[in-house]
């Protein structure tokens, strides 16, 4: 499944501010949340709706409604939390899980330290959230954990993706839909995305 890249002037505009090293914490958080909302819209473009009958002020009509309880958002801690507010605005009644990972700065491999998902996660469509898809290690591990729980439909939403990370995830989990705001050029020797936007977690939480 080929990754979906949002190509839109508004996205490019918002990314230009997000990438700027002079952008402050408050604005950075707000932009991450806004872009996450757009990613969620795109990822849910083909979801099925249930048929319902409602009454408008004028007449009765048949229409479609989302069964919000069928969905779960799972941010990869800690940076994924920055995207949560935006996607919850789209599907406010979705269930929320958390996967805790950090990167070993020597091996660059992800280390898992926390996994908590809603009951019945295997019956829900899951949207994994992480602003950066770099090597793909964290995404692959998180998807593995969800599949071990029986989840069959998984989407991965990220702000910036590196070609190396996309290739790794697509090879290991070709059934997972990846939606990103932009595919960047490459990873550098420290496995940071170039041109990227720096460490998303640090910039969201103001820890550096």
Query: Is there a catalytic annotation at residue 202?
Result: yes
Strand partners, 183: 161
Residues 133 and 178: their CA atoms lie apart, in Å, by 10
Query: Is there a catalytic annotation at residue 130?
Result: no
The alpha carbon dihedral of 38, 154, 82, 142 has a sign of negative
Query: Is there a catalytic annotation at residue 103?
Result: yes
Catalytic residue among 29, 63, 103, 141: 103
Catalytic residue among 25, 199, 203, 207: 199
Residues 67 and 50: their CA atoms lie apart, in Å, by 7
Other Cβ atoms closer than 10 A to 182: 21
Catalytic residue among 185, 202, 203, 207: 202
Query: Is there a catalytic annotation at residue 107?
Result: yes
Catalytic residue among 107, 124, 130, 184: 107
* Cβ proximity of 141 and 113 under 8 Å: no
Q: What amino acid positions are annotated as catalytic residues? A: 103, 107, 199, 202
């Amino acid at each position: 499944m080929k990754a979906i890249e949002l190509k839109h002037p508004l996205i490019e505009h918002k990314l230009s501010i997000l990438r700027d090293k002079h952008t402050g914490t408050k604005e950075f958080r707000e932009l991450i949340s806004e872009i996450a909302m757009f990613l969620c819209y795109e990822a849910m473009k083909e979801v099925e709706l249930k048929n319902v009958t409602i009454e408008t002020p004028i007449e009765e009509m048949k229409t479609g409604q989302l069964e919000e309880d069928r969905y779960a958002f799972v941010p990869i801690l800690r940076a994924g939390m920055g995207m949560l507010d935006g996607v919850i605005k789209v599907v406010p009644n979705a269930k929320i899980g958390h996967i805790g990972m950090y990167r070993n700065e020597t091996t660059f491999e992800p280390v898992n330290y926390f996994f908590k998902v809603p009951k019945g996660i295997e019956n829900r469509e899951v949207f994994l959230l992480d602003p950066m898809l770099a090597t793909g290690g964290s995404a692959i591990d998180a998807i593995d954990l969800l599949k071990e729980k029986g989840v069959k439909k998984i989407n991965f939403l990220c702000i910036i993706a590196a070609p190396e990370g996309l290739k790794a995830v697509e090879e290991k989990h070709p059934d997972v839909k990846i939606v990103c705001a932009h595919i960047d050029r490459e990873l550098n020797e420290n496995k940071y995305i170039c041109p990227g936007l720096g460490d998303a977690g640090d910039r969201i939480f103001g820890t550096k």
